Amino acid sequence: MKPLILAGALGLSLLLSGCVISVDGHDGYQSDWQKQEKHNRKEVARLQPNLTTGEVMDRMGVADFSEFVKKGDDQYHVLYYRTQRMDDDGVTTKDECTPLVLKNDQLVGWGDSALGMLSQ
């Protein structure tokens, strides 16, 4: 009888310790996106005009969104990097990103003002 009670107590303690891990639910996701946003804001603040697309991507990494448009003889590449969380939905949208505008492979500006110059 004692071995049965001891085995039951051991089994119950193992089950409950598993519940504590499961109940916590912290998977590091929140801190991951916060770190990424902070890194992106820090790197955007260090950007200098006339960097090439390659230099920008070396500093910033892969963009969350990317667009390309040709106007006349000029080619524009817009890279969007997540810098601020708007909704807690787990999905990155363009309104949560800072656009970096490159003209003919040279960084010419960033932010909404730089993006607005494309529509002029």
Q: What is the DSSP string of 7-45?
A: HHHHHHHHHHHHHHHHHH---SHHHHHHHHHHHHHHHHH
Let me know if residue 20 belongs to a domain: no
Task: Please tell me the total count of domains within the chain.
Answer: 1
Let me know if residue 87 belongs to a domain: yes
Identify the domain containing residue 63 by its residue range.
36-119
Top pLDDT among 5 and 74 is at 74
Let me know if residue 3 belongs to a domain: no
CATH code where residue 99 lies = 3.30.1450.10
Give the 3-state secondary structure of residue 112. helix
> pLDDT tens for residues 98-117?
999 999 999 999 999 999 98
> pLDDT tens for residues 35-57?
999 999 999 999 999 999 999 99
Tokens, residue 32: 């991951």
pTM to 2 decimal places? 0.72
Let me know if residue 9 belongs to a domain: no
3-state helix, strand, coil in the chain (%, to 5): 50, 25, 25
